[in-house]
Amino acid sequence: MKFEFLLGKRAIGSAYSKDYTEWAESLLYENVDSENVAILASMGYERDPDPEEIETYFQKCLKDLGLAVPLDKDALKIYAQALCELIISGELEPEQGVGMLEGFLGHLITKQSIVFGMDSVKISGWSMIERFVTLILV
């Protein structure tokens, strides 16, 4: 799992233990050398990992990697942009990507009003969102 997606899931309250451990596991595949990353990744093999322990090791991983969790508003922008980039690059099927964006927007609309701008682009006959120009949570 990409860090951008984990940030977005955290911001909308849908991040689960599996998301954190998959993120850590993906870092191991990228040859990231951190004992805390390895520990967090290994927790994915536990039947019922402790959410507090997951969070503790997630925070240790962030420190090891020099990363920080942005404010929810900023994390949502990063998440939306990452989804759009995957759609545009072809790494994510248009139907699946649009569904994820709709789900993402659905979570936001139930929590607060949003104002956003977007550009459209044609990909294989699909009218798609190229990128969020702004995403303002009010």
Residues 66-78 pLDDT 10s: 999 999 888 888 8
Same domain? For 97 and 57 the reply is no
- Position 109 scores a pLDDT of 53
Q: Could you say which DSSP state residue 67 is in?
A: -
Q: What is the model's pLDDT at position 96?
A: 85
Confidence of residue 12 (pLDDT cuts 50, 70, 90): confident
Residue 115 has pLDDT above 80, yes or no: no
pLDDT value of position 69: 97
Q: Give the Cα separation of 3 and 56 in Å (integer).
A: 17
Confidence of residue 2 (pLDDT cuts 50, 70, 90): very high
SS3 labels along 12-42: HCCCCHHHHHHHHHHHHHCCCCCHHHHHHHH
pLDDT band for 87, please (50, 70, 90 cuts).
Answer: confident
Q: Do both 59 and 11 map to the same domain? A: yes
Tally the domains of the chain. 2
**94 lies in which domain range?**
72-137
Q: 17 and 34: one domain?
A: yes
Better-scored residue on pLDDT, 118 or 50? 50
User: What mean pLDDT is reported for the chain?
Assistant: 80
The Cβ of residue 90 has, within 10 Å, a number of other Cβ atoms equal to: 11
Backbone angles phi, psi at 119, to 5 degrees: -105, 150
Is residue 56 located within the same domain as residue 77? no
